[in-house]
Chains A and B, each alone.
Chain A
Amino acid sequence: MEAIPLITPLDTDTVRRLRAGDRVTMSGVVYTARDAAHKRMIEAVEAGRPLPFPLEGQVIYYVGPAPAPPGWAVGPAGPTTSGRMDPYTPKLLELGLKGMIGKGTRSGKVIGAMERYEAVYFGAVGGAAALIAKSVIKTELVAYEDLGPEAIYRFTVSKLPLTVLIDSLGNNLYAQGPKVYRR
């Protein structure tokens, strides 16, 4: 199965075509955010303050990278467990977020919001962090510098290898995949 090349930001047509189980390679910009950054973004929304970056069509990568060694754009940068971001995610989807990259299962509420607002959840291989870092060609700090590895960075990625875990119809590879091999 050939990987489907994707360029960010994502439009709704592209999102609609992707199906759970598709392998893709992503190029363009993705924003990093994990627990603390999500909390602050939601606080900003609730207080009516602008977000550190416009969400429309964007992709958030749940990652807290290691520091960049000399010669690297970023240190090892594999996905963290996405479920911890579930309480904050439906709001971000409502505001136009189109893609999320992480690992692990999502709540029913998140999947429901993904269907309603048409978004995709991609999986990067947990622990393949040095390999993933090789796909990151540029890192820029966007906001919340005081959070260290939890700050928001803009990653420019080239052919980041991903798998569609949950598509915009709610199909879930974590449910479908294991079923095929269960004995």
Chain B
Amino acid sequence: MGEIRNVQIDIIEDAVKSLFLKANTSIGQDIYNALFDGLNKTEESPNGRDVLGQLLKNHDIAREEGVPICQDTGMAVVFLDIGQDVHITGGYIEEAVNRGVAAAYEEGYFRKSVVTDPLFDRRNTGDNTPAVIHTRIVPGRLLHIIVTPKGFGSENMSALKMLTPASGVEGVEEFVADTVIAAGPNPCPPTIVGVGIGGTMEKAAILAKRATLRPVNESHPESRYAELERRILERINRSGIGPAGLGGRITSLAVHIEYAPAHIAGTAVVVNLCCHACRHAQVTL
């Protein structure tokens, strides 16, 4: 067993704040490059090219001027991988995360888009908290934080299906492609398609969300899954939906699959759509 390492709560709060400030204002180089290649190599449609050109210009403005890429600065999703030898001191970690979120959304002039109650009094909480926090205890003495502000144009187009084992690979392929194609222009294509397969229904959902975080130029390390990702991507891009849904070759930039062992009686599949403004940032403390 390693020695216990103390981590001051303020450090976590500050890290969450600076990660959200960064994620909301500067897109990952992987996505920027994919849009750039789309414009210069792949996209044939004039409308599609016009859209990609606007998106690249938009990313440049956001980065240079430190303003949000998109007005929907999302719900704050935070993944915490906490080493089991870490001892957090000075307060409660979830409160620190929420303080970091509130500070970033205030300082960054980000839109506050969270309401207190989903049904009865949809009152804005005023500071974009609470964050959605996914915590894992992992080996070691480090603390890894990933933040992803999640816009709802794309989140709303996500879907879950409990497939039977008999539906097989083809069943998954069809469900994922159909979900993206049915979403049409709504999730702000070109999208990044996160797919979680296996586990229980909530396990698949979290896998799908994590899958959206993978760099778009990286395919699954296992060749069978990498091949499936490629096939689904091709099928989606044959739809012709294109950038912003105006018609074109590039409807999605990538399909990312994460899987987990499954029950003998079922195959949970979740499709979590992320728009071209698929924002995330991370740090290891």
In the complex, how many angstroms separate the beta carbon of B188 from the nearest chain A beta carbon?
4
Q: Is the CB of B71 within 8 A of A182?
A: no
Across the interface, which residues of A come within 8 angstroms of B51, CB to CB? 125, 128
Q: Of B73, B109, B248, B277, which is in contact with the most chain A CB atoms at under 10 Å from its CB?
A: B109
Of A7-15, A45-53, A76-84, A91-99, the one contacting chain B is A76-84
Q: Judging by beta carbons under 8 Å apart, are A179 and B247 in contact? A: yes
B163 within 8 A of A: no
A183 and B240 contact, CB distance less than 8 A: yes
B-contact bits for A92-134, CB 8 A (1 contact / 0 none): 0000000000011100000000000000000101111111111
A181 touches B69 (CB 8 A): no
The answer to whether A104 touches B186, judged by C-beta atoms less than 8 angstroms apart, is yes
Q: For B71, what are the chain A residues with a Cβ–Cβ distance below 8 Å?
A: 63-66, 75-78, 129, 149
B242 with A178: CB separation less than 8 A: yes
Contact assessment for A174 and B238 in the assembled complex, using a CB-CB cutoff below 8 Å:
no
Query: Mask for B42-85, Cβ within 8 A of A = 1, else 0?
Result: 00111110110011011001100111111111000000000000
Residues of A within 8 A of B62 (CB): 76, 130
* CB within 8 Å for A128 and B54 given contacts A78-B71, A149-B111, A178-B247: yes
Cα distance, A97 to B61, chains bound together (Å): 33
Q: Given the known A-B contacts A76-B69, A148-B124, are A182 and B239 also in contact in the complex, defined by CB atoms under 8 Å?
A: yes
A interface footprint on B13-46 (CB within 8 Å = 1, 0 otherwise): 0000000000000000000000000000000111
List residues of chain B with CB under 8 Å of any chain A CB: 44-48, 50-51, 54-55, 57-58, 61-62, 65-73, 109-113, 124, 151, 153, 156, 184-186, 188, 238-242, 244-249, 275-277
Closest 5 CB pairs of A and B: A177-B247, A181-B240, A182-B240, A126-B188, A178-B240
Give me the interface of A with B, judged by CB distance under 8 Å. 1, 21, 23, 63-69, 72, 75-78, 80-81, 83, 103-105, 123, 125-134, 148-149, 161, 163, 173-174, 176-183
12 A-B pairs within 8 Å (CB atoms) are namely A75-B68, A76-B62, A77-B71, A126-B244, A127-B188, A129-B69, A129-B72, A130-B58, A149-B112, A178-B240, A178-B247, A182-B238
